[in-house]
Chain A
């Protein structure tokens, strides 16, 4: 396949860097316990994967990530549709959204701890709050981009307002909404890790930080690699779902030019 051939140089760079990492330790270019050989790191990675450490560590991370993400998605899509459909709702909430949106999510972590403590509730809230805005803004933009002809079509067939929203606005805005959801999924992972590092006793964030603190250096690196793979996998999985849901979308866009 030509696709493979095209991607080969990129993988070669990656492999080259890993080899360089290994050589830097084997040939004693760098001699420090904070820089273990990549083979040591990978071995630790396999071990932790095999003995179920990661299953447990990522299990609790994924659980709070998904709770927060799903809550954020439901709320953001519902409010986003309301704001997109009713101008009054838009005018009511737009200043608030514009004020809250630019705050980097770690900044409200101390407040969240004050109000919600350091338990799971706080972390789920953090994830939900941070994931909320990209989905909200994309939903509003998506709803506003729906062509009025499409809505008039619904009206001439006698659809009620609720039916127009469910059967016309929602699918027509799906492309925007899913883009927002994809952005938020990455954010959700970031915030999960941060929240677990700041106040946690479980999860991948806590695991990486405590590995560093107890000087389990290979474990720390291996955890980061595992996290990279998880992020990669989440995004790939989401893109695949998106493709399935929007199989009509690409061809439609291509034909609309």
Chain B
């Protein structure tokens, strides 16, 4: 077991955001946290990342309690415009990830050549010397993903990374993410409020209730891979999952 959430609660003042949540993420899995907006999904992800601490319980990474952001995990933010460094070029943003302390702790840091290669992987090699704000939203989020990948993470924590993008861009980035995930052997924890997105991407889905957030269901997504935007989304199994989850999420 790689990542464990063990009886975690989170209070902000007198407000309880998260109530006694436990789940595990096994090596190489793609797990989504699904729930309505404002249900505390991001709070859980921030606790997984060690950006904030739980009020009760603990988060464990390789058996060790997470007290600060550990090497081996990288967080991809929803707000890519705010997460990329506007004063650095695209390549320099990626190199920031490659030379970061966490990347160094995981062995020889990626060279400039490898950073270019990663940019090629996300299809941005010819934009390497532009600044992030000169790119479209989808491209910017791809820069953020490339920056995360060069730090050689085992786990990618993604906080609604595609929710600000238009539908077509979102789908192409979903497929890019699935490709990277399987090629690089990553473990992904993915926060979303989009039911179809969570089914399409995941091995497992943890469904959360409205605040105070509890786990309504932890289910396996039994849909074969590779998945395909049209065929998968039109398959009866996909639609059955969608109906089941829809009732759950809407009822909260």
Contacts and interface: CB of A to CB of B under 8 A. Distances in A.
A156 B75 contact: yes
Interface in B163-198: none
B86 interface: yes
A255 B85 contact: no
B100 A158 contact: yes
Given A147-B82, A152-B51, A255-B134, A171 B69 contact: no
B51 A156 contact: yes
B75 A152 contact: yes
Interface in B24-71: 49, 51, 68-69, 71
Interface string A234-257: 000000000000001101100110
Interface string B70-83: 01011101010111
Contacts of A174: 87
Contacts of B71: 158
A189 B76 CA distance: 48
B133 interface: yes
Contacts, number: 70
Q: How large is the interface on B (under 10, 10 to 19, 20 to 34, 35 or more residues)?
A: 20 to 34
A149 B97 CA distance: 15
A157 B86 contact: no
A113 interface: no
B53 to A, nearest CB: 13
B140 to A, nearest CB: 10
Given A158-B100, A251-B131, A256 B81 contact: yes
Interface string A115-157: 0000000000000000000000000000000010110110111
Contacts of A252: 86-87, 131, 133
A152 B68 CA distance: 11
Contact of B133 (A159, A160, A251): A251
Interface stretch (B101-109, B111-119, B208-216, B232-240): B101-109
A252 B82 CA distance: 11
A157 B100 contact: yes
A147 B103 CA distance: 23
Contact of B49 (A156, A168, A171): A156
A157 B101 CA distance: 7
Nearest to A246: B87
B246 interface: no
B87 A171 contact: yes
Given A150-B83, A157-B96, A251 B101 contact: no
Given A156-B69, A167-B96, 15 more contacts: A147-B79, A149-B82, A149-B83, A150-B85, A155-B51, A157-B69, A157-B74, A157-B96, A158-B69, A158-B103, A171-B87, A248-B88, A248-B131, A249-B86, A251-B133
